[in-house]
Structure formats: structure tokens, C-alpha cells
Amino acid sequence: MNTIFHYDHYWKYDEMKQNLSALQKANSSLCSIETICVTEEGRSVFAVTLTNTKTGSAMNKPALYIDANTHAGEVTGSMAALHAIDYLLANYKSDPAITKLLDTETVYVIPRISPDGAEKYLTSPYMLRSVNRVYNEVKGGMEEKDLDDDGVIRMMRIQTPYGAWKKDGDSLILRSPDDTEGTFFDVFPEGMLTDYDGSENLKQAKPAWGLDFNRNYPFGWFPDSRQPGAGKYPLSNPENKAVVDFVLAHPNIGGVSTNHTSGGVILYPPGTAKASSAPKNDIDTFIAIGNMAKEEMGYEPINIFDSFMDDQVNYDSGAFDDWCYQTQGIPAFTVELWDLANRAGVPIIWNMHSSETPATAIKRFNACMEWVKKNAPQYWMDWQLFNHPQFGEVEIGGFNSKYTMQNPPENFLLQECEKMTNFMIRFAKAMPHLSVDQIIARKESSGVYKITAIVGNLGYLPTNLSDEAVKLKVNHPVMVTLNGAEPISGKKEEYAGDLSGYSRTETGIHYYGNIATPACAPAKKKITWIVKADPGTEITISASQEKSGCDSKTIKID
Ligand SMILES: [Zn+2]
């Protein structure tokens, strides 16, 4: 897949900014960039608009929305979003499908929601959830620190007769109930005890940078006591507010993909209730679009609540995909890119994940360790003795989980980006598209004509996007406008309601064995007017709806 830039390393902020600016300058009629938020450290959260402005303004076309880096360390998602921008621009004109896409649709991309968090992740040894703003007061315990100064916080094992682990080659296994003889360990991330309360029993300190942007959206929000990192109140983070304001300011958005890393799984709402509680049509749509994602990426589409959530009573929510679907009716997917466990041969079975035994998790860890040693040895370090100022002799070792577990090693990054871009292009094609199919003028009497227009939705998704949107009353009817003559009956502006796309057509195998369409979806609507007009008059019928673009046709009365 041709692109201008190379996707063989993770771009820091300055490189991202420079490359986006270069893409925009070289494609000024296809690409515009705005800053939707300036972060505490002075970085821009960029929103990129891609469409051919010569064929109509961005807002007058159906739109797909992509974002990434809600979580600081999930930089693969960000690189995939940047790849999509680059690929669409680099292949406009040379690829007819991309040309059609940008001529008839808009793609919005917010490639890095948390530029401060991502920068900290890419330039320091630290792991963090969304952003490096102090949120939790650290109240003692083991705080992460790169003790041996190799730029990575690895595992640190401390020998103790109370330990729950014992050595197993390069790895560790759980001590069995009858293990009374031997050498045992506790394992922490490399670190130091600070402000320790003096307890004999060590514990990990709560991370100071615990804010989780994907718990801060205003649907199903719960406070920090239930879901750590939730923030003070919904949209208390300026980055979250900027994202929501952007979506609300672009009512043409008809599909959402929020890129995360990792796990190799495609998540779809609802996330706060069983899939069976949502309208069946919507779940069918999620599965059909999710299956396209699976074809491109090999990752399974699953419902968040039924198959991803470990705790279905005190579940986590306040997530972006749920806000999109459950308040705006927009089909939204969270894509968890990169799946080391699968490559290592011990995949996570998501709908059985919560009942998995510790032994399976350790088996998976070991398989991942072996994969890293073989495929990314630069990110592996054998156990080394280290003289810890507080514990004496300890051992430090293991992999750099940033570019193995959480994100692919650089030479595997391009594959993830390309898979994701291929899915994005297919998802964009599923948007509703209005069409004025036919106009017929029939003479009723001298100077009086009956005008009939057939207006339809040629897309897969309905103009209302989802049945949930109808329940939420956020669906807006298709408006059909007559211009060029005065109506005697009918109004200049008529409403055609919601027009189904072909996703709602009944399909199946007929009772007698043939393929059949028992009933077409209500994708078309006939509108009639009686108008006063003279022969030679030109009459134009236009159809428009915020999610579905616009179209018009003109006839001359004879
Ligand atoms: Zn994430």
C-alpha cells in the first residue's frame, strides 16, 4: 500500500505535526487540519478533515470518524490513524475507489487525543493510562523507577520465604500449595519504596497518572470509587470535551472507529447492558461491519458487555463508543489492534476470558516471552543481579512490554496500520447515501403539472444510522425540496422520513430452496406535488439529510 511516509517507527509529536502539515500542504483541496484542544503541556490535539472540497463541502457529505490514543501508550492506534490519512491522500486520483471515497464522503481523523500522554510514553520508561497529569495521590508502596537506567521498567524479583512465585527457567511459576522447600520470590515492576507506611507487606503504589479518558465520557459515567481514572465528572478532561464537541459539531458523522491497542479484538456496544437488550437490527449491523473488520484484520468482533467485561455488575463504562451509540445513535467500534498472544500461539478467547485460570495466563506469558526472544530480541533482557538500595540483591529482567505486549515491535507496525486502513475504507463505504432517482412531470391541465420524485438511500446504513437513534429521537428526516415552480399542493419542502439502506432488506433462502428477498427495505420514497408552471420551466428536486449527504436532479417541463 503506497504512502508518503514510513510506518516503521512510532512518531513523536514533532514528527507527527511536521508530517501532517506536509500532507496538508501537498493536498490543500483534500485535507484541512484544525487544533481542537491545546493540552496542559502546550501540544495540539489535531483534527484532520479529508474530502475533495471541489465536489462539495465536508459537512454536506456522509462522514466516517476515526480517532486514536485515548490511552497514552496505545500508539499503534495512532500510527494506524495517521496511516489512513496518508494512504487516502497518496492514492487519491491513482486509485478510483479512493477517489470516489473522497469525492463523495468525508473522513475525520483525530490521530492523537492525548499528545501529552503519548509523548511521555514514547520518551520515558514509564507506562501510563491516558495522560501524565497527577490524579491519584501516591500513598506509599512500590513506585516504578528505571533502576538500572536502561530506559525500560522491567520485572524485579525479590527473594523472600513468603513469596508466591518460584523460578521456572527464564520465567516464573506460581508456588504450589505443597511447596515448602525452595527459593521463593515476590515480583514487582522495577522500583523503589516511597512514603511507605511501614507495613511489613509490600504493595505496588497506585499510579499517580491514573486518569482514564475512556471512563470520562458522559454516558454511563461512574465515579472513581467504582472505575479508577474516571475523572471528577463527565468531560472533566479538556481532551474528552474537545472530542465530544467535535462529534456534535459534525452531525454528518455516521460511523465511528476509535483505535486502541492491544488484544486483537473488535468491540461493539452496548457496553452497559447485554447485546440482546439493544435493537436486533443494530446488533446485526455491528456484526456485519465487524465481520468486515475480521476479514481485514483477523480479529473477532464481540459485544463489550457480553464478552469483554469481566464484571457485569460493577462494569466499567463512560467509554466513547457507548456515548456515540447510546446518545447519538452512531454505530461505533473500539478496535484493539495487535495481538501478541495470538502470534505466540496462546490466543485470548475473549468470551471465556473471565473464567480463565492463572495457569493459562502464565502459559500465555511464557509463550509471549519466547516469541519476543525470537522475534524482537532487542526488547528482551535476561535476568541481571542488581544491588537495590532498599532490598539488597534483587534480579531485574524480562521484556520491554511497550513494544512487545502493548504495541508491536517496529517491524510489525506497518501490517497493523495497513489492516486497519483497509477496514476503514470498507467501513466508510457503508454510510447512507441519498439519491434523487427519478423525476416525472405529468401535465394535469394547461400550466398545471403533477411532479413526482423518487428519493432513495443507496447506502448500507439507514439515514437514521440505527434503531437506537430512533428510540433516542436523534434521527432527522430526509428533506426533499422543490425549486423552479410554485406548488399548488404540497410544500416546497417535504419530509421523506428515515430511508432504510439495504442493511434492512429481508434476505434469506426461500422455502423452496432458492435465494429470496421476502421484502425490500423501505429505502425509497415517492413525493408528489401539483405545481403551476409553463412549458420550458426547469424544476429541480433536491434531497438532503445530515448523515446521508445530498443530491439533486433537474428536469425541463415540455
Ligand atoms: Zn485503550
pLDDT in tens, 168-207: 988 999 999 999 999 999 999 999 998 766 667 888 888 8
Strand partners, 456: 435, 524
Question: Ligand 1 centre and the CA of 153: distance in Å?
Answer: 20
Instruction: For Cα atoms 547, 549, 551, give the angle at the middle one, nearest 5 degrees.
Output: 150
Question: Ligand 1 centre and the CA of 143: distance in Å?
Answer: 23
Burial 2-12 (b: 16+ CB within 10 A, else e): ebebebeebbe
Question: Ligand 1 centre and the CA of 380: distance in Å?
Answer: 24
Question: Ligand 1 centre and the CA of 216: distance in Å?
Answer: 13
Q: What letter would DSSP give residue 11?
A: P
Give this prediction's pTM. Answer: 0.96
Burial of 367 (0-12, 13-18, 19+ CB in 10 A): middle
Question: Ligand 1 centre and the CA of 257: distance in Å?
Answer: 12
Question: Ligand 1 centre and the CA of 214: distance in Å?
Answer: 7
Given this model, what pLDDT does residue 11 score? 98
Given this model, what pLDDT does residue 508 score? 84
Question: Ligand 1 centre and the CA of 431: distance in Å?
Answer: 25
Question: Ligand 1 centre and the CA of 336: distance in Å?
Answer: 7
Question: Ligand 1 centre and the CA of 261: distance in Å?
Answer: 6
Question: Ligand 1 centre and the CA of 69: distance in Å?
Answer: 7
Question: Ligand 1 centre and the CA of 213: distance in Å?
Answer: 9
Burial 230-246 (b: 16+ CB within 10 A, else e): bbeebbebebbbbbbeb
Strand partners, 555: 539
Amino acid present at 495: Y
Q: What letter would DSSP give residue 125?
A: S
Question: Ligand 1 centre and the CA of 38: distance in Å?
Answer: 21
Q: Are strands 185-189 and 155-159 parallel, antiparallel or unpaired?
A: antiparallel
Question: Ligand 1 centre and the CA of 258: distance in Å?
Answer: 9
Q: Which domains does the chain have, with CATH numbers?
A: 13-123+210-338 (3.40.630.10), 141-207+348-403 (no CATH), 434-556 (2.60.40.10)
Question: Ligand 1 centre and the CA of 74: distance in Å?
Answer: 6
Q: How far is CA 171 from CA 17, 127, 359, in A?
A: 41, 22, 13
Question: Ligand 1 centre and the CA of 334: distance in Å?
Answer: 8
Question: Ligand 1 centre and the CA of 260: distance in Å?
Answer: 4
Given this model, what pLDDT does residue 197 score? 66
Beta strands in 291-345 (DSSP E): 300-303, 332-337
Given this model, what pLDDT does residue 198 score? 64
Question: Ligand 1 centre and the CA of 75: distance in Å?
Answer: 10
Question: Ligand 1 centre and the CA of 367: distance in Å?
Answer: 23
Question: Ligand 1 centre and the CA of 326: distance in Å?
Answer: 19
- Are the C-beta atoms of 525 and 497 separated by less than 8 Å? yes
Question: Ligand 1 centre and the CA of 262: distance in Å?
Answer: 7
**Of 222, 473, 469, whose CA–CA distance to 332 is shortest?**
469
Question: Ligand 1 centre and the CA of 407: distance in Å?
Answer: 11
Cα 327 from Cα 248, distance rounded (Å): 11
Given this model, what pLDDT does residue 223 score? 95
Half-sphere exposure (CA, 13 Å, Cβ side) for 370?
A: 12
Query: DSSP letter string over 138-158?
Result: P-SEEEE--TT-SS---EEEE
Question: Ligand 1 centre and the CA of 462: distance in Å?
Answer: 29
Beta strands in 332-433 (DSSP E): 332-337, 380-388, 392-399
Given this model, what pLDDT does residue 196 score? 66
Question: Ligand 1 centre and the CA of 130: distance in Å?
Answer: 9
Question: Ligand 1 centre and the CA of 67: distance in Å?
Answer: 11
C-alpha cell at 417: 496500520
Question: Ligand 1 centre and the CA of 71: distance in Å?
Answer: 5
Question: Ligand 1 centre and the CA of 212: distance in Å?
Answer: 9
Q: What letter would DSSP give residue 354?
A: G
Question: Ligand 1 centre and the CA of 418: distance in Å?
Answer: 19
pLDDT in tens, 453-483: 999 999 999 999 999 999 999 999 999 999 9
Query: DSSP letter string over 229-295?
Result: T--SSTT-SHHHHHHHHHHHH-TTEEEEEEEEESSSEEEES-SSS-GGGS-HHHHHHHHHHHHHHHH
**Of 485, 454, 456, 455, whose CA–CA distance to 556 is shortest?**
485
End-to-end CA distance of the chain: 52
Would you write out the chain's pLDDT as a tens digit for each of its 558 residues? Answer: 899 999 999 999 999 999 999 999 999 999 999 999 999 999 999 999 999 999 999 999 999 999 999 999 999 999 999 999 999 999 999 999 999 999 999 999 999 999 999 999 999 999 999 999 998 777 788 999 999 999 999 999 999 999 999 999 889 999 999 999 999 999 999 999 987 666 678 888 888 899 999 999 999 999 999 999 999 999 999 999 999 999 999 999 999 999 999 999 999 999 999 999 999 999 999 999 999 999 999 999 999 999 998 888 999 999 999 999 999 999 999 999 999 999 999 999 887 767 788 899 999 999 999 999 999 999 999 999 999 999 999 999 999 999 999 999 999 999 999 999 999 999 999 999 999 999 999 999 999 999 999 999 999 999 999 999 999 999 999 999 999 999 999 999 999 999 999 999 988 888 788 888 888 999 999 999 999 999 999 999 999 999 999 999 999 998
Question: Ligand 1 centre and the CA of 406: distance in Å?
Answer: 10
Amino acid present at 475: N
Cα 376 from Cα 352, distance rounded (Å): 29
Question: Ligand 1 centre and the CA of 546: distance in Å?
Answer: 30
Question: Ligand 1 centre and the CA of 249: distance in Å?
Answer: 24
SS3 487: strand
Question: Ligand 1 centre and the CA of 10: distance in Å?
Answer: 17
Question: Ligand 1 centre and the CA of 304: distance in Å?
Answer: 13
Question: Ligand 1 centre and the CA of 329: distance in Å?
Answer: 22
Cα 47 from Cα 32, distance rounded (Å): 8
Question: Ligand 1 centre and the CA of 135: distance in Å?
Answer: 18
Question: Ligand 1 centre and the CA of 493: distance in Å?
Answer: 45
Q: How far is CA 104 from CA 3, 13, 463, 533, 544, in A?
A: 22, 31, 16, 33, 14
